[in-house]
Amino acid sequence: MADKKQEILKELYPEDIYQYSSKLTLGEAEVLQHTRQIIEKELRPVINEYWEKAQFPFEAFYKLADAGIMNNPKLFVGREGETKPSQIYNTFLYYELARFDASIATFYTVHGGLGYNTILIGGNERQIAEFAPKVANFEWQTCFALTEPDHGSDIAGGLATSAKRDGDNWILNGEKRWIGGADTADIVPVFARDVDDGKIKCFIVRKGAEGYHAEPIPRKVALRPVQNGHITMENVVVPESDRLEHINGFKDVAKILVNTRTDVAHIAMGITGGAYVAAVKYVKEREQFGKKVAAYQITQEKLARMLANVTSVIGFSTRLAELMEEGQYEMVNASLAKMNNSLLMRETVALAREVVGGNGITLDTDVSRFFADAEAIYTYEGTHDINALIVGREITGIGSFV
Ligand SMILES: Cc1cc2nc3c(=O)[nH]c(=O)nc-3n(C[C@H](O)[C@H](O)[C@H](O)COP(=O)(O)OP(=O)(O)OC[C@H]3O[C@@H](n4cnc5c(N)ncnc54)[C@H](O)[C@@H]3O)c2cc1C
């Protein structure tokens, strides 16, 4: 059985030369293998077209549900009664998706990471029972509405969207910006400040709610298929029964963010791996001065640096997954991984673009997508600076955000 698992993993991730993926179970490896088959059959043929026309390939994406990426019973062997698959599987699921395409991984993290974790962490039993299964099997699309036009990095203290209790209802007013999938989501968890006690709470706004409007942000040069919405809310009514009961302040929001910051570290890991694999493929095919570009020492030095980066980011992510599985993790762990993986991702996509030459700026080699998309990952889920400040506070004991 171990041989079968190793065979699958060698085929899926030949670049994982330190074999971090061997921590996956056979069942988890099989789900990832099935995911790869769906990606190659359904998504690869259309991804560049959708990137160029800035539309999301919903039909092809939802084929991923056939692999049961969030709830395949193979993921719960030995984890009976758990609501989520293992952290190591989660790490390699993000690796698998982002190694193919950052927009697909980002759309998934908004839905299956940010949105889903908000329901699991914030919801009461009834709310989890109503929302979680539909989100897990992709029947309902969800997202995560926290950032605002005037408050990005300083959202914890600055959040301005208001919620006013009115009998059995709440009235929401305000704006949100950059919210992935906001225009198509069936349920939108919106974070707003209760005008009476000043605390941040979370409200499920359902599709079609009066006064809710989401306009996709146009002319993006990264993650073009993902529609990031600018939301306006004017007297949107949400019943008390749709307020997530366990979110009562930013400390509860932080519990969600620590999970998704980890997921984004894994996305950076996937982009790093994907850019490396695409670059190796190209230089082995391309000839200049009568030899493969791969045959030149300067190219090989760059490939070696890229592989070192790939190995480093997989190491960061898998160790973080182990710590999370053991319940031993803090925001600083997630911030360190997101910061490190994003830095190495940025260097790797630049090296990949370099060795691919002119074709590295067309969509034909995959490298240009990774290169452009890396910039968005560098910024969302805590910019490089903000994550560095979280790590810096841990090192020095001095918070220097303001
Ligand atoms: C593609 C994309 C998808 C996103 N998806 C979502 C989503 O689904 N839901 C959601 O809620 N949000 C989402 N966001 C928002 C994202 O989390 C914010 O963009 C991020 O928090 C940064 O905020 P900002 O863009 O307003 O930058 P700002 O906060 O305005 O920062 C601008 C610059 O100033 C720096 N800076 C700020 N404060 C400090 C400081 N104290 N010290 C040093 N430097 C500082 C920053 O590092 C940055 O370089 C998304 C963003 C992008 C780009």
Q: Dump pLDDT digits (tens) for 181-229.
A: 999 999 999 999 999 999 999 999 999 999 999 999 999 999 999 999 9
Q: Which atom of ligand 1 is nearest to the CA of 386?
A: 47
Mean pLDDT of 348-367: 95
Least Cα distance to 313 among 358, 280, 266, 249 occurs for: 266
Q: Is the pLDDT of residue 233 over 80?
A: yes
Question: From the CA of 294, how far away is ligand 1's center (Å)?
Answer: 38
Cα separation of 156 and 349, whole Å?
Answer: 32
Please state whether beta strands 287-288 and 291-292 pair in parallel, antiparallel, or not at all (unpaired). antiparallel
Q: Dump pLDDT digits (tens) for 311-336.
A: 999 999 999 999 999 998 899 999 99
Ligand 1 binding pocket includes 110 (Cβ within 6 Å): yes
Q: Domains in the chain, start-ordered, CATH in brackets? A: 2-136 (1.10.540.10), 155-242 (2.40.110.10), 250-396 (1.20.140.10)
Q: Dump pLDDT digits (tens) for 254-264.
A: 999 999 999 99
Question: From the CA of 227, how far away is ligand 1's center (Å)?
Answer: 17
Q: Is the pLDDT of residue 377 over 80?
A: yes
Angle (deg, nearest 10), helices 331-355 and 384-396: 140
Ligand 1 binding pocket includes 386 (Cβ within 6 Å): yes
The protein residue whose alpha carbon is closest to atom 42 in ligand 1 is 401
What average pLDDT is seen over the chain?
96
Cα separation of 112 and 142, whole Å?
Answer: 8
Q: Which of 103, 111, 151, 153 has most ligand 1 atoms within 8 Å of its beta carbon, as the pocket-test mutant?
A: 153
The protein residue whose alpha carbon is closest to atom 26 in ligand 1 is 152
Q: Which atom of ligand 1 is nearest to the CA of 182?
A: 8
Question: From the CA of 380, how far away is ligand 1's center (Å)?
Answer: 6
Asked if residues 132 and 158 have their Cβ atoms less than 8 Å apart, the reply is: no
Output the pTM of the full model: 0.96
Q: Which amino acid is at 115?
A: G
Q: Is the pLDDT of residue 289 over 80?
A: yes
Mean pLDDT of 273-299: 98
Q: Dump pLDDT digits (tens) for 161-184.
A: 999 999 999 999 999 999 999 999
Could you please report the per-residue DSSP string of 159-226? ---EEEEETTEEEEEEEEEEEETTTT-SEEEEEEEETTT--EEEEEEETT-TTEEEEEPPS-SSSTTS
Mean pLDDT of 264-281: 98
pLDDT above 90 as % of the chain: 95
Ligand 1 binding pocket includes 223 (Cβ within 6 Å): yes
Q: Dump pLDDT digits (tens) for 95-126.
A: 999 999 999 999 999 999 999 999 999 999 99
Q: Which of 178, 228, 263 has most ligand 1 atoms within 8 Å of its beta carbon, as the pocket-test mutant?
A: 178
Question: From the CA of 181, how far away is ligand 1's center (Å)?
Answer: 17
Least Cα distance to 202 among 129, 254, 133, 273 occurs for: 254
Q: Which atom of ligand 1 is nearest to the CA of 154?
A: 29
What is the pLDDT at residue 207? Answer: 96
Q: Which atom of ligand 1 is nearest to the CA of 143?
A: 8
Ligand 1 binding pocket includes 152 (Cβ within 6 Å): yes
Question: From the CA of 342, how far away is ligand 1's center (Å)?
Answer: 14
What is the pLDDT at residue 323? Answer: 96
What is the pLDDT at residue 115? Answer: 96
Asked if residues 180 and 226 have their Cβ atoms less than 8 Å apart, the reply is: yes
pLDDT confidence bin for 1, thresholds 50/70/90: low
Question: From the CA of 92, how far away is ligand 1's center (Å)?
Answer: 26
Ligand 1 binding pocket includes 146 (Cβ within 6 Å): yes
pLDDT confidence bin for 69, thresholds 50/70/90: very high
The protein residue whose alpha carbon is closest to atom 17 in ligand 1 is 380
The protein residue whose alpha carbon is closest to atom 27 in ligand 1 is 152
